Structure 1
Amino acid sequence: MIKVLRGNPTPEELAAALAVVQARAAAVAAVAPGPERTDQWADPAATVPGRRLPHPGPRAWRTSYWPR
């Protein structure tokens, strides 16, 4: 619902404003991405060989959070 708070728009001005709002809403809905995948444990890309893994050692845990 659109409510005019100030002024007295003509029907043509109101129709133009409504057309802009509807066009913007349609554009946003068309570009909206799908739901993000939250289950990263099942990601097949996680099993791809050749990724840099931390080397064993006393400070290897420090690099365990680095992007892979």
Structure 2
Amino acid sequence: MATNAELLAEAEAARHRLLTGTLEAEIRTADGESVKYAAADVTRLDAYIAQLRSKIAPRARSIRVLY
């Protein structure tokens, strides 16, 4: 099973291919499903990339400052 970082790299590479003229790009999702994106689907692919980034990004913790 691919890690979220690997899935993110694949999704970003697919986005790059779409934006540089490839008509379709295919990626695997976390559940192993294969999804094809076309240039018109860049917004959908961006949402998937944002979802993966949010899973990878460290959670921000609030810090209590006492004076």
TM range (shorter): 0.3 to 0.5
Larger RCO (CA within 8 A; separation ≥ 6)? 2
- Is the radius of gyration larger for structure 1 or structure 2? 1
TM-score by length of 1: 0.33
Normalized per residue, the structure richer in strand is: 2
